[in-house]
Structure 1
Amino acid sequence: MSTPHPVRTEPIRILIADDHPVVRDGLRALLERESDFTVTAEARDGTEALDLYRRDGADVVLMDLRMPLMGGVEAIEHLLRHDPDARILVLTTYDTDGDVMGALAAGATGYLLKDTPREELTRAVRTAAAGQSVLSPAITTRVLQTVRKPSAGPLSERELQVLRLIADGATNREAAAALFISQATVKTHLIHVYEKLGVKDRAAAVSEAHKRHLFR
């Protein structure tokens, strides 16, 4: 039996961050059909979302992942440094393990896909506003599959590629650019590398890889 949300006397204030105007317009129209919702601001990228949140705040931020200037994961990290209690609901078309785990590791309150039914989206907004986490069923399955993967075993070719770049001094951003993947995906690969090598940081991972002659 689910716990009922506390009764609110004020509408839930929502900030939409998405670089597509049509998507923002559609979300605003959908959300404002609910009497307890009000869209207070719209941002075209993560930088603008951060500025608007700092200026006006919001009860829930609906955050896309792939945006110019500053992407969703980086914006989540900045928002939570500004306000550790910020409630950020990712709403995106991307559902790779790297995107999902990167956003959740950054501190997202929840993760939904843009094909989520209207009823599920509005329920998720209310759940996030109440301070509870929410994941769409498809994302829940992905998360469970990821956390259930055994940590032992050899590094994959992609994990080795990431580790080689890190060993050569590349930052996460530089490794992502070199491999044409997102920084969130690089972070996820590194998490798996740490687990498989039994280490806790980049330096130790590189050292252990040399000991095991993994760069041959």
Structure 2
Amino acid sequence: MSAQDTRPLRVVVADDQASVREGLVLILDLLPDIDVVASAANGQEALDRVAEHHPDAILLDLHMPVLDGTETTRRLTSEFPEVAVVVLTTYADDTSVLETLRAGARAYLTKDADRLHIARTLHSAASGLSVLDPKVQATLLAAASAAASAPAQPPHPAPSDRPLPDGLTRREAEILTLMARGMTNAEIATALFLSGNTVKTHISRIFTKTGSRDRVAAIRYARDHGLD
């Protein structure tokens, strides 16, 4: 067996709650096959710690300030595809699960998982396997069953179904559409399972890309480009 096979798995832990973060660091670092190399209190810190330490995996909370877990996952899988993203969160609704898996997470656990389960999942994800908590599997099965039994809906093009103007990302177009429909930042954050700070950051980028000085101008832009 090679040294690569026997060395501890190098892990970053990211959670905005200090007590949870420190507890995870403590219980995982006690395991002989896990080496917690850094911890982070928000999504941007998570990206910074991964860039600094190049771990094998990151244990990531879903709802964090600065960058939420989904956006952090998206950036991690884009910039550090070799790092396995394992989500550990209290949220197991189908929207949160699907968004995070689509962003590139390899595993999704709820916070009632014990440390050995977390450790096994980290190792599995780092080896390329996907792992879903039983509660998460049940949620996805229920969502799939509901979708299969729902009546067919008339086609309604979403922003992601067509080319977007001025370099807008799919998420920015989605937020711009909700703005045009009269939703506040708080309502948008709730609807998309994002933090308020993340929504503000996206809106700032929307203003820059669309040349809008304020919300009214951005809404006018949305309507002019069929994004309302």
Amino acid of the structure 1 residue aligned with 2:16: D
Q: Which residue of 1 aligns with 2:148?
A: 150
Q: Is 1:57–2:54 an aligned residue pair?
A: yes
Q: Distance in 1 between matches of 2:148 and 2:74?
A: 28
Gaps of 5+ in 1: 1-6, 164-169, 186-205, 208-216
**SS of aligned partner of 2:148:** coil
| Identity, % of aligned positions | 34
Gaps of 5+ in 2: 160-171, 195-225
Counterpart among 184, 187, 192 of residue 183 in structure 1: 192
Preserved contact between residue 175 and residue 188 of structure 2 (Cα < 8 Å): no
Q: Which residue of 1 aligns with 2:111?
A: 114
Q: Shift of residue 105 of structure 1? A: 0.8
Preserved contact between residue 102 and residue 184 of structure 1 (Cα < 8 Å): no
Preserved contact between residue 77 and residue 104 of structure 2 (Cα < 8 Å): yes
Aligned length: 174
Amino acid of the structure 1 residue aligned with 2:17: H
Preserved contact between residue 14 and residue 58 of structure 2 (Cα < 8 Å): yes
Deviations 1:60-91 (A, max 9, x none): 10010111110000001111110223200000
Q: Shift of residue 154 of structure 1? A: 5.5
Q: Which residue of 1 aligns with 2:137?
A: 140
Q: Which residue of 2 aligns with 1:173?
A: 175
User: Equivalent residues in 2 for 1:16-95 (5 A)?
Assistant: 16-95=13-92
Amino acid of the structure 2 residue aligned with 1:183: L
Preserved contact between residue 106 and residue 129 of structure 2 (Cα < 8 Å): yes
Q: Which residue of 1 aligns with 2:211?
A: none
What is the alpha-carbon root mean square deviation over aligned residues?
Answer: 3.1
Preserved contact between residue 92 and residue 112 of structure 1 (Cα < 8 Å): yes
Q: Shift of residue 8 of structure 1? A: 1.7
Q: Shift of residue 9 of structure 1? A: 2.2
Q: Distance in 2 between matches of 1:15 and 1:182?
A: 29
Q: Is 1:130–2:127 an aligned residue pair?
A: yes
**SS of aligned partner of 1:91:** strand
Preserved contact between residue 44 and residue 66 of structure 2 (Cα < 8 Å): yes
4+ runs deviating over 4 angstroms: none
Q: Distance in 1 between matches of 2:131 and 2:37?
A: 22
Q: Residues 76 and 151 of structure 1: is their aligned pair in 2 closer, same or farther, counting only changes over 3 Å? A: farther
Q: Distance in 1 between matches of 2:97 and 2:191?
A: 11
Q: Shift of residue 118 of structure 1? A: 2.5
**SS of aligned partner of 2:74:** helix
